[in-house]
């Protein structure tokens, strides 16, 4: 009987120890988690504790004098939230800090924890963002739930996801040599699995060109850009980012005319795939203006029509609301006729917003510009297509 009781007691001890072990193994702690993208210069993730009950982010905020930072709890429009794939996890609570406004009176460091619901089993990559805005403000895009040692082992074993992740991570750390090493590993894997015409391959080449630009390998960046563009062709919208980076390369090299050509081609290529936002036109317009102003013979050039961004919602109301971009222009003219019959000149200002009435059969509007020496730009055709 005593042996039976002893066996039963040992069994209970074993079961209890297994339960404790299971409970411990269910909690995963990642110190200084690897982040491959962030737009925050002030916030750092020190640790993530993922258990079967919750996911806790231990955060550090570098607080500068005059800076104000607001923490919000669940239900606020500016609440932090976690994304795993398409799934959204709202903030449950904040600990180690009072919800509300942190006011920085001198340089200091503030700590707080963000607590979310438990992550699904097997989660590796997630995103931390703020609020329910139409265009989410990402604080941390791509957080890897693994230690650097784990990630390195998996990357060197041929896991392309970890190779890509570490390439971005080391680039962010300004360790361009390590970034290039992992990026080369990733490109080799993508060529084997996806081929040289895939979006993944072109994205990786774009990243490689950007790395060359960052470390000052301008000739390599230019050659790789030109080779890729020639191999893929301008008809492929995936080549747009390479055209943009090549424009940056030419700016650095002082080839400003080539820079302008590539920035404009970037816009034209992007237009084939989607309606460009005004912000994109404005950004490229500024780059074009910089290169244009750097050309020695700018005064002898006709004005340059950069582009037009159309508001699709206005088209439904019978008008075309357009933001137009040009360099070296003082006046502009809009018409539904290539001959610009009956149209008049209007004063042009940078990134001008204008609204034009449409006829029922209007399919295209034409825009041209004039400078203070009465030199005309090439007409710019704008297709009127409501957004689906």
CA atoms within 13 A on the CB side of 240: 15
The CATH homologous superfamily of the domain defined by 299-388? Immunoglobulins (2.60.40.10)
> CA nearest 82: which of 6, 134, 140, 31?
140
Q: 94 with 73: CB under 8 angstroms?
A: yes
- In angstroms, the CA 35 to CA 28 distance is 17
Q: Could you tell me if 126 and 139 are in contact, meaning their C-beta atoms sit under 8 angstroms apart?
A: no
Tell whether domain 29-146 is in CATH 3.40.50: no
Does 346 have pLDDT greater than 90?
A: yes
* Tokens of residue 226, six digits: 């030109």
Query: Rounded CA gap, 144 and 155, in Å?
Result: 13
Q: Pick the residue with more confidence: 232 or 300?
A: 232
Taking residues 358-387, report their average pLDDT: 86
Q: Which one-letter DSSP state was computed for residue 105?
A: S
Mean pLDDT of the chain: 81
In the chain, CATH 2.60.40.10 covers: 299-388
Segment 360-384 mean pLDDT = 88
End-to-end CA separation in angstroms for the chain: 80
On whether the CB atoms of residues 309 and 276 are closer than 8 A, the answer is yes
User: For residue 387, what pLDDT band results from cuts at 50, 70 and 90?
Assistant: low
- Distance of alpha carbon 324 from alpha carbon 308, whole angstroms: 4
Looking at residue 251, the DSSP 8-state letter turns out to be H
pLDDT score at 138: 66
Order of strands, sheet of 137-144, starting from the edge strand that comes earlier in the sequence: 28-31, 43-50, 54-63, 108-117, 87-95, 80-84, 125-130, 137-144, 34-35
Among 84-98, 143-157, 278-292, whose mean pLDDT is lowest? 84-98
pLDDT at 339 over 70: yes
Cβ–Cβ under 8 Å, residues 338 and 367: no
Percentage of the chain beyond pLDDT 90 is 27
Q: Residue 93's pLDDT is what?
A: 82
Residue-level pLDDT at 178:
93
């Amino acid at each position: 009987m005593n042996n039976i009781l002893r066996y039963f007691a040992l069994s209970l001890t074993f079961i209890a120890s297994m339960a404790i072990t299971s409970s411990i193994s269910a909690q995963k702690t990642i110190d200084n988690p690897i982040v491959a993208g962030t737009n925050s210069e002030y916030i750092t993730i020190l640790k993530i504790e993922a258990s079967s009950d919750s996911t806790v982010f231990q955060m550090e905020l570098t607080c500068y004098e005059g800076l104000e930072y607001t923490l919000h709890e669940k239900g606020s429009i500016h609440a932090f939230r976690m994304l795993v794939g398409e799934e959204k996890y709202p903030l449950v609570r904040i600990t180690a800090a009072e919800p509300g406004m942190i006011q920085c009176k001198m340089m200091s460091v503030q700590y707080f924890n963000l607590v979310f619901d438990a992550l699904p089993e097997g989660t590796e990559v997630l995103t931390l963002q703020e609020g329910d805005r139409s265009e989410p403000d990402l604080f941390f895009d791509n957080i890897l739930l693994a230690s650097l040692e784990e990630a390195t082992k998996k990357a060197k074993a041929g896991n392309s996801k970890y190779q890509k992740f570490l390439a971005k991570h080391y680039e962010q750390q300004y360790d361009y040599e390590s970034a290039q090493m992992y990026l080369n590993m990733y490109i080799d894997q993508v060529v084997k699995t996806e081929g040289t015409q895939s979006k993944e391959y072109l994205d990786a080449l774009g990243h490689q060109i950007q790395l060359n630009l960052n470390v000052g390998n301008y000739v390599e960046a230019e050659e790789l850009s030109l080779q890729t563009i020639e191999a893929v062709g301008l008809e492929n919208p995936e080549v747009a980012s390479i055209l943009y980076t090549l424009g940056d390369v030419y700016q650095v090299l002082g080839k400003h005319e080539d820079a302008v050509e590539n920035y404009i081609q970037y816009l034209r290529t992007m237009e084939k795939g989607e309606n460009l936002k005004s912000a994109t036109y404005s950004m490229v317009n500024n780059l074009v203006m910089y290169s244009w102003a750097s050309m020695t013979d700018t005064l002898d050039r006709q004005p340059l029509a950069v582009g037009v961004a159309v508001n699709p919602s206005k088209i439904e109301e019978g008008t075309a609301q357009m933001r137009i971009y040009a360099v070296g222009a003082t006046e502009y003219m809009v018409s539904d006729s290539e001959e610009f019959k009956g149209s008049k000149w209007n004063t042009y200002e940078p990134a001008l917003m204008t609204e034009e009435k449409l006829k029922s059969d209007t399919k295209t509007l034409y825009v041209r510009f004039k400078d203070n020496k009465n030199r005309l730009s090439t007409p710019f055709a704008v297709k009127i297509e409501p957004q689906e």
